[in-house]
Structure 1
Amino acid sequence: MTPAPPHRVRLSGPVDAVVAGGGPAGAVAALVLARAGHRVQLLDDGGRAPPRAAPCGRPVFKIGEFLPPIARPLLSDLGLLDGFLDSGHPVSTGTYAAWGSATLHGRSHLFDPYGHGWHLDRLRFDALLRDAAVAAGAELRQATALDRLDDHLIVRERTTGAVVELSARWTVDATGRRCVIGRRHGHCRRQDRLVAAYVVFPDRCPAEPAARADAEARTLVEAAPSGWWYTTRIPAGRLVAHLTDADLADPSLRTPQGFWHALSRTVHVRCRLAGHGPAVTPVPCWAPAHGLRLTPTAGPGWVAAGDAALAFDPLSSQGILTALHTGARAGQTVADCLADGQRTSAALADYTAFLDGIAAAYRKNHAYAYDQEQRWPLSPFWDRRRAGGQPPPRIA
């Protein structure tokens, strides 16, 4: 059946750049472009309404909540550090991990040269970045990118549903793993089939005993036969997530009872859930968590940033940091191309080399981390992550 035609397409006036995606990568790219004096539109399909409770009473929450200490100099370079620190995101003092053995080992940020990390309130963090871009001169538009044809970006307005054709000299694809624009110009390669099933347990007792303060300020990671778990305190409560491959996930994980049953089989994560039980377990949410690489990551009139260019397994804890770095670099690359068209090829090559360096370091660290866990040699999940394991599918 032929789909119904969209609303009438109308043409919006030309701008220097459109940034598709209002997350960390897109907001920072728009910030850099606006500060360089370019007319830029930032498309955000999430709106700017303040965080509020969902109809069922559960807190609204966006997964992707850790920012490592090394983000501090980058935020400072972007002129965002003071505003970020004033936002009051909870401190992360390190991690605990039962990985490679059942014993829980700790890693502290005490001796990190950049200090502690943070457990982000992502809604507040993303809003801070978008507000900074708008303050610098970017125009925020509540719309979702659908496609790019030549120098026209086709978007759907969030408020009216109208399909609008935007004219821009450059486009930054910051649409996450959807990679709306990059897919038209290149190929996405999945690293794996990883998905996250997660819930947020509301705090029952906001004041934790002083003796548990340091433990509660750390993320806890625990390997399991069919994947791995992590839990951390966030402003909305306690986040618990199970990471496994989509084709290996037990269907019962979609129910509160099934999720709690699987959680109860952990050794260390369940100890963080004192006072909770299956009766208060929320309906689990699901999110893609697979690694991904787009090739090429840039071309005439477009660049990809954040997860649209390079997405990481959450085990790396580098997703938000990489989004900030690639967003800033993508914005500067486009600004350089707008300032001097003769440097376009060199600028895009430099940006590609920058991403290649990040990808190479990630692949090495990812392989090393998973190689440390050898307890379940017959597990399909772990077998796929050993050398010579089953390769992931290629997607266009």
Structure 2
Amino acid sequence: MTRHGAYDAVVAGGGPAGAVAALVLARAGRRVAIVDDPPVPGACAHKVGESLPSAAAPLLRDLDLWPGSTAAPHLRSTGMYVSWGSPELRERGPVQDPYGAGWQLDRLRFDAFLRDAAHVAGAEPLRGRVTDAVDDGPGLRLHVRHEHGTRELRCAWAVDATGRRAALARGRAVRRRQDRLVAAHLLMARRNGSAGHEPDREARTVVEAVPGGWWYTTLTPAGRIVAHLTDPDLADPRLRTPDGFLDAALRTRYVGARLTAGDLVRPSAPCWSTAHGLRLTPYGGRGWIAAGDAALAFDPLSSQGILTALHSGARAGIAVALCLAGAPPRPVLASYTDFLDGVAVAYVRHHAEAYATETRWPALPFWQRRGAVRPRDSQEARE
């Protein structure tokens, strides 16, 4: 096992939450490392969670990440079409959002931009996967697996931004799962154009409820994302093959129409991801704090995942910087908890209200499970 010198803070995870936390800490003059997972052979070549609401703009400006973070080739969202609670397709335009139009991101490019900004600010980039952390008196020892073995990092504070796996927080907190929602998704890449086909330019997201769950499709700079959300025990095994997935998508009324509208390259096998809501209790403790999906993860229907990751990453970075500067950790963590608890309460309420509006299939398992969940009970399944 190789060792590195002690850091003020180590950020585990290089997504939006981790990159912003590292950026804030580096700008505060702290010695910080950001440990980013290396590519996994055979892993999904694209990343879902592509919608960024326009409400993110003020924070991105405050972080001096504007306008580069959302510049071309990222696409401006022109609204969405929704078939939910009704067989009709209804338009929801950006005029209904008080902040205006948001963005459809190339997530890999967006995340890389944020990491680069953290590196420029002084955060040290390290390749590897944080597996656990050991309390070491006043600080922590983190074990990082990389291609040549394992390295050990010492730090005063650690930020867990490892996503839903919550590598550092898992043994230190309770994780409460909302349901068992999963997403099957694929990227249909765009050709540069061919005879007889118009390029796919429809940037409005389509969301369509179906008896066994719901579908959505949206255009990103990398191509068209198509996803089906359901429960694992309800998922048709044919969804695991390209032909089976496309056949199911094309049988939908509205999402399927988007897939025949442009000249789209045939995809590889669909990827599968967990997509249920998840809440950590507590969000931090002695020498550690969780941000992004590690702390609070959302059902994709909310389209709030990246926005919350950015805010929680920034606030986690500020909290750690304050503690490193001598502030008592307890009130700092209490303030952070109050912020995330407020987000969680609003999410649970809106989630229950959204699913309650779909009443066409009350006896079918997917909708029955969600229709029977009261807001105060929806996060009570302990992992």
Q: Does structure 1 residue 270 correspond to structure 2 residue 256? A: yes
State the 1:18 CA deviation. Answer: 0.4
Report matched runs for 1:44-193 at 5 Å: 44-46=36-38, 60-110=45-95, 112-150=97-135, 151-160=139-148, 162-193=149-180
Pick which of 380-389 and 116-125 moved more.
380-389
Per the alignment, residue 301 of structure 1 pairs with: 287
State the 1:323 CA deviation. Answer: 0.4
Matched AA of 2:24: V
Whether contact under 8 Å (2:53, 2:303) holds in the other structure is: yes
> Quick one: distance in 1 between partners of 2:57 and 2:146?
34
Structure 1 residues 348 and 59: CA distance shift in structure 2, 3 A: closer
Unaligned stretches of 5+ in structure 2? Answer: none
Per the alignment, residue 224 of structure 2 pairs with: 238
> Quick one: distance in 2 between partners of 1:292 and 1:367?
15
Matched AA of 2:316: A
1:318 to 294, 299, 304: 304
> Quick one: distance in 1 between partners of 2:80 and 2:284?
36
Whether contact under 8 Å (1:193, 1:247) holds in the other structure is: no
What whole-Å deviation, never above 9, does each CA across 1:208-259 have from its counterpart, x for those lacking one? 869x85xx11110000000000001111221110000112111111012221
State the 1:115 CA deviation. Answer: 2.8
State the 1:90 CA deviation. Answer: 0.9
Whether contact under 8 Å (2:164, 2:297) holds in the other structure is: yes
Unaligned stretches of 5+ in structure 1? Answer: 1-8, 48-53
Whether contact under 8 Å (1:145, 1:153) holds in the other structure is: no
State the 1:346 CA deviation. Answer: 0.5
What's the % identity of the aligned pairs? 55
Q: Does structure 1 residue 362 correspond to structure 2 residue 354? A: no
> Quick one: distance in 2 between partners of 1:384 and 1:347?
38
Structure 1 residues 75 and 279: CA distance shift in structure 2, 3 A: closer
> Quick one: distance in 2 between partners of 1:59 and 1:149?
31
Q: Does structure 1 residue 221 correspond to structure 2 residue 213? A: no
What whole-Å deviation, never above 9, does each CA across 1:24-47 have from its counterpart, x for those lacking one? 000000000010111100000136
Aligned residues: 376
Structure 1 residues 112 and 176: CA distance shift in structure 2, 3 A: same
Per the alignment, residue 338 of structure 2 pairs with: 353
> Quick one: distance in 2 between partners of 1:205 and 1:104?
29
State the 1:205 CA deviation. Answer: 6.0
Per the alignment, residue 26 of structure 1 pairs with: 18
State the 1:88 CA deviation. Answer: 2.8
What whole-Å deviation, never above 9, does each CA across 1:275-331 have from its counterpart, x for those lacking one? 689993431111111110010111110000000000000000000001000000000
> Quick one: distance in 2 between partners of 1:186 and 1:388?
24
Matched AA of 2:269: V
